Amino acid sequence: MRLVEHLRLGEAAAVAASVDPVARASAREGLADSEAASASAETLWAAGRVALGLGRALDGLRAALDAARAISPDATLEERLARAGLDATARARVAAAAGALEAPAPASDGAVGALHGAQFVAAQEASDTLRRALAPRLLDEVGLGRLRRARLATALAVVVGVALLALWPTLFPAPRIDVRASAYRVNDTVETWPPENAVDRDETTYWHLPPGEAGWIELELTPPRHVSALRIMNAHDNHVRDPHRADRRPFHQASREIRVHAFADGQRVAEVDATLEPITDWTRVTIPLGGADGDGGGLDDVERIRIEIRSFYEEGGGLAEIEVLE
Amino acid sequence: MTAAAQWSSAQSSSAQRGLGWALLAVVALTMVGTADLDTGYNFDQQRILQFHRDTVRELRWTQPDHTWNGIVYLPGLAVSLGYLAPELPQVISELAHGPRVPLSSANSPTLAAWQEDMYRRIGSERFKIEMRAVYLAFALPVLLWIFLAVLRLYPGRYLAAAAAAGFIGLSWEFTMHTRWTELDPTMTMFVALALYLMTCALTARTRGGGLATALGLGAAVGCVLGCKVSGVWLVVPATIALFQIRFWRGLRDRLTLMGAFWLALLMVYGAVSPDSWIDPLGVLNHGFFQIADYRSIGEEYPAYVSPPFGHFARICRWLFTVQPSSVPAFAVGLSLISAVGAYALVRSRRRAALTLGVYPLMLMFFMSRLPLFQLRNYLQLIPFVALAFGAGLIWLWARLPRAWMRTALAAAVTLVLAFNAGWLAHVQHSMQSTTRETIHAEVRGYIETTDHDLLVSPRAYTTMREALDARFECARRPPSSEPALESPEVLMYYMDHSPWRWRIAVPGLAIRWFAPLELDHDWLTLWKGKIEQHRFVLLTEERAVDMTVPVHVFYRCHRR
């Protein structure tokens, strides 16, 4: 309900309609005075001029209370605050701060005690509360209309923004490649060479099959897409001599004979055999996928690609990088 | 002032508040949105990963071997526990029904399955990226603390506060560190929190607020210490700030505040760095070893700088001419505003200036005495410069006599910060689009257009032979047997020189790097990153000789 009222400004409009235009102008002036006094109070307090700061904070509260008088000149403070739209808690807080206005103000910074600090905070909060509540109630019809439109536009922008954020992945799904493998090498339970490493765009991380085993790695393409070729970098340890890479150890795994299977609509649409060489530089091999007739023109709507490692060099198979070329 | 003008001024201050917060959000979104976390190998990462493997294997929550204080451990732990969270009810149920040996995966098949799954994850790049995302999240609140600190000293100055947040949040030098498995941006965030709480202490309004500030400050300093022991100097300005809290001025009051501060500090430090009470001697021993290690490096070490003046000058050079913007002229411009802010603070907020200035000065003083220059140690100075930047803007705005001058100042600062934001987007694009092929294309483009003769490393010559032979006559001959090269430049793969012989943190080290903008290569030359093996570098001959690059075996290429 409060949100609806915040956007509709019904209560504010009812109060504003009953305010005399001259009184409205004077009250708006009072609110502006209050705002300026509160701002300078903050600055003075932050600069260590606390006695002056407290004085300005109290001036700010006085000005806000004077402005409240415009919306119901003959009412009591309690009624006035209620008409300004404050709930019971806020009314009590403002009334308490207003009650302390009569206390003598400290003459110097040295005379400012802990109670004065509390009074400063209470006065500033009360002024702010009152100003926020009064501001829409002191607008004319044009101003109210403008405020209403601004609030509606803000609410709309927030709703649209949140909805867009929530729906973005559904509306505009980012192309994704999920990867899995028949197995991966695990060394003494702490070192691993998982299949994700073959599609992470990092040439120095690898998927390794367990030593001595043949196996496969499979890429699932979301959404299915046209694929013209694969570019593959064989497993290697080219950088093993790098003294700065504590994680790099020599290994003796690389794939030799591979068979690439491509699937679209649940059917196998290509099967290509290739032989990889062990690499000593950063060479990649391009394997065109030309469909069942091998025309080299690529395949449409490919949803899955499986690379079967049929044999390997030395201890086992593995790949460093797989790129899907569209 | 007329009523209408006053009303309009009140409205504009409210608008400024809204705009200030909106700009802060824009800075935060830019910082996160341009952060490419897929940066390859970074310093210390392997060790941290090893700890996490041990954690998973041994089901422990402390470092198996104390190397850093505990906060470095939390991002990875958060990721590991994030994967465990959905399984936790099942694990608890299995452990509760099993033999009374708690936390053993032998008693919980679900826990054992999680362990196996985590071994695989920790071995993958994905885990590193997820861990870096947590590091980035830890660093992000630095923007809020700077924003609030400026507002605390200069209430209502929302735009200046947002600009101060932009000063650090759009700084490439800062943001590039937030993308790594690196603790220093997190430490910087906690230092900025302590800075904000010190401004709260200096402007406290109530007794309750003063006590809460003391507790908060203790917790913030505890977190800084939980990152690195070098944060211990923060105790000094924190204590000075506590002594200035209004309404807590008597001896008893001050002792109470100090008690609250130290209680919070020790409790938080103990919680985030459990090694310190489980194995205090080990932690102390490591601390002393670290200090000795920092002191013992020799001139041949890549990160060596001559202490204290050379080191101090290098810190200042980076902090004021490099860190604020990737364009030196812009960086100097922003630094001048910070200098004005420092002056304004000393002039009009002397207590605040002296209190807040203690930590950066002490840090620079003590670090300058060491021969080891590590850029990341100085990230924690940036919040102080950012605060001074905000103060400088406010001071200039109030004192520039003409409206067009103020407009020009605002426009210039906006443009430079917008440029910095654009640079971050450019960096992200560079990291995502640079490949071996694009690097080769760039190098070929350089070879086709350069007006210099070249000294080319054998491996670079092999790769670029076609382009070089088209414009140059290249041969490996002794220099004495041929005409001298005309203003030669040295073109080589970065990896053609031993990493230990490169100098780091040398301003203007290279004429040009052909590499993704993963970072500022001149200042962090030994960076590994993702495609280090394909990184080319172009140097002056003097610089190459200075770094013992063996140019005498390089191809000597004369323009045809």
Residue A17, in any domain of the structure: yes
CB B345 within 8 Å of CB B388: yes
Of B49, B122, B153, Cβ closest to residue A46 = B153
Residue A170, in any domain of the structure: no
Pick from A164, A195, A223: which residue ends a domain? A164
What pLDDT does residue A249 have?
Answer: 66
Signed CA dihedral, B364, B368, B372, B375: sign only: positive
Could you tell me the residue range of the domain that residue A74 belongs to?
A: 2-164
Alpha-carbon distance B209 to B215, whole Å?
Answer: 10
Share of chain A above pLDDT 90, in %: 63
Task: Give contacts of B 472-511 with A, CB under 8 A.
Answer: 495, 498-500
Pick from A138, A164, A190: which residue ends a domain? A164
A199 and A318, same structural domain? Answer: yes
Residue A255, in any domain of the structure: yes
- Residue B483's contacts (CB-CB under 8 Å, 6 or more residues apart) are B558
A94 and A51, same structural domain? Answer: yes
Q: pLDDT (tens digit, 9 = 90+) per residue, B477-533?
A: 776 767 888 899 999 999 888 877 888 888 889 999 999 999 999 999 988 888 888
Angle, alpha carbons B226-B228-B231 (nearest 5°)? 95
Residue A169, in any domain of the structure: no
DSSP per-residue codes, B155-218: TT-HHHHHHHHHHHHT-HHHHHHHTSS-SHHHHHHHHHHHHHHHHHHHT--SHHHHHHHHHHHH
A307 and A218, same structural domain? Answer: yes
What pLDDT does residue A164 have?
Answer: 94
Chain A residues with CB under 8 Å of B124 CB are 192, 194, 196-197, 200, 205
Residue B470 structure tokens: 């088209």
Tokens 């809460």 correspond to: B212
Q: pLDDT (tens digit, 9 = 90+) per residue, B136-153?
A: 999 999 999 999 999 999
- Residue A205's contacts (CB-CB under 8 Å, 6 or more residues apart) are A197, A320, B124, B125
Q: What is the mean pLDDT of each run of 10 residues along chain B (560 residues)?
A: 53 81 97 90 80 82 78 90 93 82 77 86 85 96 98 94 98 95 95 98 94 98 93 95 92 95 96 88 86 87 92 96 96 98 94 95 95 94 98 95 95 98 97 92 97 95 95 84 86 87 89 94 88 92 92 92
Taking CA–CA distances from B248, the nearest residue in chain A reads A114
A110 and A181, same structural domain? Answer: no
Number of structural domains in chain A: 2
CB atoms within 10 A of CB B124: 21
Chain A residues with CB under 8 Å of B206 CB are 114, 117-118, 121
Chain A residues with CB under 8 Å of B498 CB are 243
| Residue B490 β-bridge partners | B455, B539
A321 and A289, same structural domain? Answer: yes
Residue B6 — φ and ψ, nearest 5°?
Answer: -65, -45
Chain A residues with CB under 8 Å of B436 CB are 282
A118 and A183, same structural domain? Answer: no
- Residue A22's contacts (CB-CB under 8 Å, 6 or more residues apart) are none
Coil, strand or helix: which one is B38? coil
Query: Does the beta-carbon distance from A197 to B207 stay under 8 Å?
Result: no
Give the CATH number for residue A196. Answer: 2.60.120.260
Instruction: Note the Cα A283 to chain centre separation in Å.
Output: 40
A230 and A97, same structural domain? Answer: no
What pLDDT does residue A148 have?
Answer: 94
Comparing C-alpha atoms, which of A56, A60, A54 is closest to residue A115?
A: A54
Burial B329-360 (b: 16+ CB within 10 A, else e): ebbeebbebbebbbebbeeebeebbebbbbbb
A146 and A217, same structural domain? Answer: no
Residue B76: its H or E element = helix B74-84
What pLDDT does residue B50 have?
Answer: 81
Pick from A164, A188, A208: which residue ends a domain? A164
Full strand arrangement of the beta sheet holding B489-493 = B472-475, B555-559, B454-456, B489-493, B536-540, B512-514
Taking CA–CA distances from B527, the nearest residue in chain A reads A244
A281 and A199, same structural domain? Answer: yes
Residue A21, in any domain of the structure: yes
Q: Is B2 exposed, middle or buried (0-12, 13-18, 19+ CB in 10 A)?
A: exposed
DSSP per-residue codes, B292-333: HHHHT--TTSTTB--TTHHHHHHHHHIIIIITT-SSHHHHHH
CB-based contact (8 Å) between B9 and chain A?
yes
Residue A237, in any domain of the structure: yes
A139 and A64, same structural domain? Answer: yes
What pLDDT does residue B257 have?
Answer: 96
CB-based contact (8 Å) between B528 and chain A?
yes
CB B122 within 8 Å of CB B53: yes
CB atoms within 10 A of CB B477: 10
To the nearest whole Å, the CA of B119 is away from the closest chain A CA by: 6
Residue A171, in any domain of the structure: no
Taking CA–CA distances from B345, the nearest residue in chain A reads A47
A232 and A148, same structural domain? Answer: no
Tell me the longest C-alpha to C-alpha distance in chain B: 88
Residue A264 structure tokens: 């679209």
Residue A235, in any domain of the structure: yes
CB B383 within 8 Å of CB B195: yes
Q: Which residues of chain A have pLDDT under 70?
A: 187-191, 239-249, 291-296
What pLDDT does residue A243 have?
Answer: 59
Signed CA dihedral, A69, A72, A74, A75: sign only: negative
At B233, which amino acid appears?
W
Tokens 């600090």 correspond to: A117
A90 and A45, same structural domain? Answer: yes
What pLDDT does residue B123 have?
Answer: 78
CB B231 within 8 Å of CB B189: no
Residue B10 — φ and ψ, nearest 5°?
Answer: -65, -40
What pLDDT does residue B62 have?
Answer: 76
Tokens 């500033």 correspond to: A124
Helix H, strand E, coil C: the string for A31-75 is: HHHHHHHHHHHHHHHHCCCHHHHHHHHHHHHHHHHHHHHCCCCCC
